[in-house]
Amino acid sequence: MASGSKSTKKVAATAVPHGSQPFLASVNYYFDKAAKYIDLPAGLIEQIRACNSVYYMQFPVRIKGNVQVVQAWRAEHSHHKLPTKGGIRYAETVDQEEVEALAALMTYKCAVVDVPFGGGKGGIKINPKNYTVDELERITRRYTVELIKKNFIGPSVDVPAPDYGTGAREMAWIADTFQTFGNSDINALACVTGKPVGQGGVRGRTAATGRGLFFATREAVNDPTLMKRLKMTTGFSDKRIIVQGFGNVGYHAAKFLQEGGATIIGIIEYDGGLLNPKGIDVEALYKHRQATGSITNFAGAKTIKNGNSLLEHECDILVPAALESQIYKDNAPRIKAKMVVEGANGPVTAVADEILLKKGVFVMPDMFVNAGGVVVSYFEWLKNISHVRFGRLDKRFEEGSNTRLVNTIERLTGQSLSTTERGMLARGADEEDLVNSGLEDTMIGAYQSIMETMRGDKRYSTDMRTAAFVNSITKIGVSYQLLGIFP
Ligand code: NAD
């Protein structure tokens, strides 16, 4: 039998975290640092910071002829907007604090990019590499049943998504289980995002976080004031980048940054790193990893045994896109990058963040940088509850209008366009075009808004994370006040 508890509890106040500092302490430290600059009632600030509900469960699963008791969590950090939203992580390191920290980050992230959800997060304490596909399916379906039983999942309640160790396959199992139990709900598919396209997913979701990271970085490197301060020129052409993690976020980020003109000089994985000052061909490396199971011994770069030593290597932009707490008090003083772009959640601890700030390193915070995943998850949820693919109604109409316009221009000018030019001008937007366009607009808008806040206050005029928290907390505070809960 499963055991569970749903609690409404207050998160203890955080002292300035030192040493190896837990992830949750770092998130709360960042929150408290920003809250000082915001004029909202103390009780409201406390409510925004608190994790509203946590469901801890243990359930039995038959594994290789034995019964294994699996530990799992789902946290709903904030209900100021519903549903709550956030990924599900499969890792041996998962515990309640990690899930709460990630759920809190989701609340702040959604607010900073204007996605109308509260934050949530789930985790199962397993190493997925130790299980067969059948076993993973059994664990995932049983976890979903536990969430259904306690009303911790549903299109208007709490909507999970992929995170570290999970992907479209697991999301399809969750959707199928939910549909089986709630088959009269016409919106059942909206109970989870990150699904395969054939199962109600949206085109562009898999690459969304890496693509969003690219848009965020592109805004920064095209910002003349910022580049001048960091003593760099604008654009990607002279930017040397090192990426940690070659999973969903890291691979797509590296691919889009390379396509944008940057040079990917280093890639770090758990079993080693790669270095090539002239640049690593990201697609060729992807194929090499598919063929061999590892990025190491790739012919296009030198293999470095201690991969994480590359975090400290000379480069312009460092993109930690693997796990939390990778840049901490010991290695932070040796970081040579001028910018750190947080692809992962919480890759820089609070103490390290202060060290980097003092060194003049520009840190682009996770809550903004990796928000692309939740932005496109929001689009997927909208698609599921509206029951129509984006572009289905207007693509042909748009193409017809554009063709008539091109014909008119040709007639009036007496010039004719080539077939390729006509195709480019007349083409109507399909689902992926619209998703990518919505993502791009969101990332650009959020960058401008955070930078405006940062540059508007001398007390944190170089600290983008604090500015992002100020924006986020202010928006959540206004939302609570409009609900009439707080004066
Ligand atoms: P993933 O499982 O697809 O990839 C993670 C990669 O990191 C794997 O290739 C793994 O081998 C590697 N890795 C693990 N430990 C490492 C180490 N010590 N050094 C170097 N590499 C290591 O996971 P993901 O979805 O890419 O998520 C990565 C991070 O991004 C997580 O912090 C996650 O919470 C965050 N994130 C993911 C999304 C998303 O849409 N997937 C959205 C927002 C944030």
Domain that holds residue 350: 208-369
402 in a domain, yes or no?
no
407 in a domain, yes or no?
no
The reply to whether 126 and 193 lie within a common domain is yes
CATH of the domain at 246: 3.40.50.720
Nearest-CA residue for atom 34 of ligand 1: 345
- Give the pLDDT score at 3: 41
4 in a domain, yes or no?
no
- Give the pLDDT score at 15: 44
Looking from the CA of residue 247, the nearest atom of ligand 1 is: 4
- Give the pLDDT score at 483: 84
Cα gap 467→33, rounded to integer Å: 10
468 pLDDT exceeds 80?
Answer: yes
46 pLDDT exceeds 80?
Answer: yes
Please say whether the beta carbons of 91 and 136 come within 8 A: no
Looking from the CA of residue 209, the nearest atom of ligand 1 is: 40
475 in a domain, yes or no?
no
When pLDDT is averaged across residues 61-72 and rounded to a whole number, the result is 96
- pLDDT range class, residue 21, cuts 50, 70, 90: low
16 pLDDT exceeds 90?
Answer: no
Domain boundary, last residue among 170, 199, 228: 199
Please say whether the beta carbons of 257 and 264 come within 8 A: yes
417 in a domain, yes or no?
no
Residue of 164, 313, 324 to mutate, ligand 1, most atoms within 8 A of C-beta: 164
Euclidean distance between the first and the last CA atom of the chain, given in angstroms as a whole number:
44
Domain boundary, last residue among 159, 176, 199: 199
Cα gap 337→231, rounded to integer Å: 12
Nearest-CA residue for atom 19 of ligand 1: 270
The reply to whether 123 and 175 lie within a common domain is yes
Cα gap 338→29, rounded to integer Å: 23
Please say whether the beta carbons of 322 and 344 come within 8 A: yes
Cα 90 to middle of ligand 1, angstroms: 11
Residue 80 neighbours by CB under 8 Å, 6+ apart: 48, 107, 118, 476, 479, 480, 483
Torsion, Cα of 216, 219, 221, 222 (10° steps): 170
- Give the pLDDT score at 1: 36
Helices 96-112 and 372-386 pack at an angle, to 10 degrees, of 80
When pLDDT is averaged across residues 282-301 and rounded to a whole number, the result is 98
Average pLDDT for the chain:
94
**pLDDT tens sequence across 248-266:** 999 999 999 999 999 999 9
Residue 309 neighbours by CB under 8 Å, 6+ apart: 273
13 pLDDT exceeds 60?
Answer: no
The reply to whether 277 and 174 lie within a common domain is no
Q: Is 360 left (phi over 0), alpha (psi -120 to 50) or beta?
A: left
Can you name the residues that pair with 114 across neighbouring β-strands? none
217 pLDDT exceeds 80?
Answer: yes
| Residue 9 annotated to the active site | no
Nearest-CA residue for atom 27 of ligand 1: 164
Domain boundary, last residue among 329, 347, 369: 369
**pLDDT tens sequence across 365-397:** 999 999 999 999 999 999 999 999 999 999 999
Please say whether the beta carbons of 430 and 391 come within 8 A: yes
Residue of 109, 129, 248 to mutate, ligand 1, most atoms within 8 A of C-beta: 248
Nearest-CA residue for atom 31 of ligand 1: 344
* 207-to-187, 286, 436 alpha-carbon distances in Å: 25, 14, 10
**pLDDT tens sequence across 398-410:** 999 999 999 999 9
**Token pair listed for 49:** 């910071």
Amino acid of residue 131: Y
> Are β-strands 118-124 and 84-90 bridged in parallel, bridged antiparallel, or unpaired?
parallel
The reply to whether 237 and 154 lie within a common domain is no
Length of the chain: 487
14 pLDDT exceeds 80?
Answer: no
Q: For ligand 1, which residues put their CB under 6 angstroms from it?
A: 162-165, 209, 244-250, 268-270, 321-323, 343-345, 370, 373
The reply to whether 290 and 217 lie within a common domain is yes
* 152-to-178, 376, 393, 448, 449 alpha-carbon distances in Å: 11, 22, 34, 35, 33
Please say whether the beta carbons of 333 and 355 come within 8 A: yes
Looking from the CA of residue 374, the nearest atom of ligand 1 is: 42
CATH of the domain at 159: 3.40.50.10860
- pLDDT range class, residue 486, cuts 50, 70, 90: confident
Cα 320 to middle of ligand 1, angstroms: 9
The reply to whether 244 and 331 lie within a common domain is yes
Cα 113 to middle of ligand 1, angstroms: 21
Give the residue with greater pLDDT, 22 vs 307. 307
Nearest-CA residue for atom 16 of ligand 1: 270
Cα 392 to middle of ligand 1, angstroms: 34
The reply to whether 188 and 240 lie within a common domain is no
Can you name the residues that pair with 60 across neighbouring β-strands? 69
- Give the pLDDT score at 9: 39
* 338-to-26, 115, 304 alpha-carbon distances in Å: 22, 30, 22
Residue 263: phi and psi, rounded to 5, are -110, 120
Report which of 422, 382, 381 is spatially closest to residue 405, judged by C-alpha positions: 422
Cα gap 447→285, rounded to integer Å: 31
- Give the pLDDT score at 12: 37
Report which of 75, 67, 56 is spatially closest to residue 2, judged by C-alpha positions: 56
**pLDDT tens sequence across 121-159:** 999 999 999 999 999 999 999 999 999 999 999 999 999
229 in a domain, yes or no?
yes
17 pLDDT exceeds 60?
Answer: no
Total tally of structural domains belonging to the chain: 2
**pLDDT tens sequence across 162-211:** 999 999 999 999 999 999 997 789 999 999 999 999 999 999 999 999 99
Please say whether the beta carbons of 334 and 361 come within 8 A: no
Q: What percent of the chain has pLDDT over 90?
A: 93
Catalytic residue among 81, 121, 383, 395: 121
Report which of 238, 215, 384, 248 is spatially closest to residue 316, judged by C-alpha positions: 238
Please say whether the beta carbons of 335 and 313 come within 8 A: no
The reply to whether 105 and 251 lie within a common domain is no
Cα gap 207→252, rounded to integer Å: 6
Residue of 109, 243, 270, 311 to mutate, ligand 1, most atoms within 8 A of C-beta: 270
- pLDDT range class, residue 362, cuts 50, 70, 90: very high
The reply to whether 109 and 158 lie within a common domain is yes
Torsion, Cα of 193, 195, 197, 202 (10° steps): 20
Supply the pTM of this predicted model: 0.93
Taking CB atoms within 8 Å and a gap of at least 24, the contacts of 332-337 are 332/356, 333/359, 335/311, 335/359, 335/361, 336/312, 337/242, 337/361
